[in-house]
Amino acid sequence: MKVFCFGSLNIDYTYKVDHFVQKGETISSESLQVFSGGKGLNQSIALAKAGADTWHAGSIGEDGRFLLAQMEEAGVHTQCITVLEETRTGNAIIQNDTEGDNCIILYGGANQAITREQVDEVMRQCQKGDFLVLQNEINELAYIMEQAHKNGLRIVLNPSPMNEKIRRLPLEYVDYFLLNEVEAGQILGREVKEGFDKEELGKALRECFPKAMIVLTLGKEGSMYLDEKESFLQPSYRVRAVDTTAAGDTFTGYFIGGLLRGLAVREAMDLAARASAIAVTRLGASPSIPCLKEVEAYSF
């Protein structure tokens, strides 16, 4: 069984700063590092490192060819990636502060140049029962979901970055939602305030999407899993964070990768929690994602 990740590929420009720049303020960064990134790329690499047969679909410009080599080195199949001659690769400007938090500005570039013909070609590579992992950093999401559902794929949606476009998608086709509390509130059309009741929020998601399996990530509090039969809380592993950029993508890749390798849901949730904890102790997006042997051997 394969997993296709149809998503973004970025070049990340990461600035180490004392604090996030404010309106009207000019600050100097301590350093600048250039990494491969994009939620799609990060999740594909996490999926492959978790042991899944991973195929990435998406688009880059000529300036992003080095991303192909990095993905292939991680074990990702790249035959479904289109290289565009006249469009730049998507990129991100990332501020990383002394607490390990980050803020990000995205430029879509080639990620927003997906065509329906490209989608149709990718679907011809898929088989019924394969997984399709999606985020919200490419165009043509609705068409991708419609064709995936028509072809019997199991759809995984990480609705990030969340905006109104998500609520216009055929969300009834989604088999797995992976989202944080802010995204959950937005997708439900409600505000999630500090000190919210996670059990209540999870119940509301289940009522809205009764057929879907839901993973609600809760930051330092861990994550929650909910489906028709069970719900439980997965605690987080305590580490000293230096860069949280790819933590969610690592969690997504290892959770779905664990399921594809035949793990039970509770085992896959724990594996994902361990992998994402390791990722935040390292700088960069995709370079921070650990391999499966590291995750299994790491002592917390």
Residue 157: beta bridge partners?
134, 177
Burial class (CB in 10 A: 0-12, 13-18, 19+), 244: middle
For tokens 């997993």, what's the residue? 3
Torsion of CA 205, 45, 245, 66, to 10 degrees: -140
Buried b (16+ CB within 10 A) or exposed e, 31-43: eeeebbbbbbbbb
What is the CB neighbour count within 10 angstroms for residue 113?
21
Cα separation, 251 vs 294, in Å, equals 15
Sign (positive/negative) of CA torsion 258, 261, 262, 267?
Answer: negative
Residue 253: beta bridge partners?
none
Set 12, 130, 243, 249: catalytic member: 249
Residue 105: beta bridge partners?
93
Q: CA nearest 251: which of 172, 176, 163?
A: 176
Task: Based on the residue annotation, tell me whether 249 is a catalytic residue of this protein.
Answer: yes
Q: Are 14 and 97 in contact (CB under 8 A)?
A: no
- What one-character-per-residue DSSP string does 101-131 give? -EEEEEE-GGGG---HHHHHHHHTT--TT-E
Reported as type and span, the H/E element at residue 231 is strand 231-234
Which residues are known to be catalytic? 249
